Amino acid sequence: MAPSVTLLVLNAGSSSLKFALFEANETSPRRQLHGRFEGLGSRPRLAIVEDAGRRHQEASTTATNHEEAIAHLLTWLDEAGLLAEVNAAGHRVVHGGSQYTAPVIVQGDVLAQLHDLIPLAPLHLPHNLAAIEALASQRPGLSQVACFDTAFHRSQPALEQRYALPLEWYERGVRHYGFHGLSYEYIASQLPEHLGTSADGRVIVAHLGHGASLCALHERCSVATTMGFTPLDGIPMATRPGHLDPGVIIWWLREAGLNAAQIDDLLNHRSGLLGLSGISGDMQELLASDAPEAALAVDYFVHHTARAIASLAGALGGLDALVFTAGIGENAPGIRARLCQALAWLGIALDDEANHAQAVRLSRTDSSISVWRIPTDEEHIIARHTARLVEESTE
């Protein structure tokens, strides 16, 4: 690799655009700055933070969509003398279907093939691809790399990737994909540093945030995960229900007269913690509330997440370590404590002081299963993949 390569990492959501600038050298990418546009389409605003944590800029922006946000970002980078240094861009792309099992440079037919996958992730892929297309139009010579959230789970055995449906549906793409793969891949890369020789053992990673899922790892590869064909499945989330009997959807169609759009909105935006509490999908707000409905939502989250962890431990044939990550997993010691208490029968013994101090290792020395808090960094793993592919393409 060249002595230094500067990479732009983009993560486009429905009304947001996260970005980061990395310097990649022969060892590991180093973040220079990061930030995000929020409220695109309504009340747009921009925050840019240097990696040391000092606020660099926070301002309103006139950007109303991803194309305008990227234009604003490129102008800011140019004025800061940083744009000329950018060699490539890496993107989080939620869905890679069955064909994309690893990151890929966006060239040739790749973009057209990704557009064909939009029906598999209609809430996410259009925004991911809009960012790629906007950057391509504004910086046409820049190499772009797509990094897929589904790719990490392609290591799962066939029994985990199939549904009990006729083969024709599997061949048409109805299969268990799994998501949050970039987060799990980053955590897997960090396990040797913390777990030592246990890193390749039986590990469950709990990615608990607005979107939440669990992943069972063995030899640091995904062997089972809770999300399936879409990010709706698995454990309860902020606004998604998690596991749901498909007969409920049939009942809504036949008896309640709901159409596909109404069901889509109900399942993606009005269920989960928000639906249970009627107050909020934000765990922090629910924990601060004394309303019984808020307590119900929290209790439901803990119960069903603990139940799913136990199920994955069964799939692994035991458990050596439990890792908490993402917004709730990293920042809610009370939720971690309740989950570990519910799983004490597995041999988990939590160190209460370490847990409330937000330490890395959270379990006591006499715990049969070690418990960890490891912050995730999807942007870092995207930068790593982008640097590698760009280097390989120039060799």
What are the structural domain ranges in the chain? 5-148, 195-373
Beta bridge partners of 24: 5
Contact assessment for residue 369 and residue 363, using Cβ atoms and an 8 Å cutoff: yes
| Domain at 5-148: CATH code | 3.30.420.40
Element (H, E) at 60: strand 55-60
Residue 296 vs residues 333, 339, 372: alpha-carbon distances, Å:
18, 15, 27
Q: Return d(Cα 196, Cα 203) in angstroms, integer.
A: 13
Question: Which SS3 state, helix, strand or coil, does residue 47 take?
Answer: strand
Taking only the tens of pLDDT, the chain with its 395 residues reads 455 688 999 999 877 889 999 988 766 888 988 888 888 777 777 777 776 656 666 666 777 888 888 998 898 888 888 888 899 999 999 999 999 999 999 998 999 999 999 988 888 899 999 999 999 999 998 999 999 999 999 999 999 999 999 999 999 999 999 999 999 999 999 999 999 999 999 999 999 999 999 999 999 999 999 999 999 999 999 999 999 999 999 999 999 999 999 999 999 999 999 999 999 999 999 999 999 999 999 999 999 999 999 999 999 999 999 999 999 999 999 999 999 999 999 999 999 999 999 999 999 999 999 999 999 999 999 999 999 998 887 76
Specify the CATH superfamily of domain 195-373.
ATPase, nucleotide binding domain (3.30.420.40)
The whole-model pTM stands at 0.93
Q: For the purposes of burial, counting CB atoms within 10 Å of the CB of 249, is it exposed (0-12), middle (13-18) or buried (19 or more)?
A: middle
In the DSSP assignment, the letter for residue 53 is S
In the DSSP assignment, the letter for residue 326 is H
Q: Return d(Cα 82, Cα 191) in angstroms, integer.
A: 33
Pairing mode of beta strands 86-93, 221-225: unpaired
Contact assessment for residue 311 and residue 185, using Cβ atoms and an 8 Å cutoff: no
The yes-or-no answer to whether 5-148 and 195-373 have a common fold is: yes
Give me the numbers of helices (H) and strands (E) for the chain, helices first please: 15, 13
Q: Return d(Cα 20, Cα 36) in angstroms, integer.
A: 9
Residues that are catalytic: 149
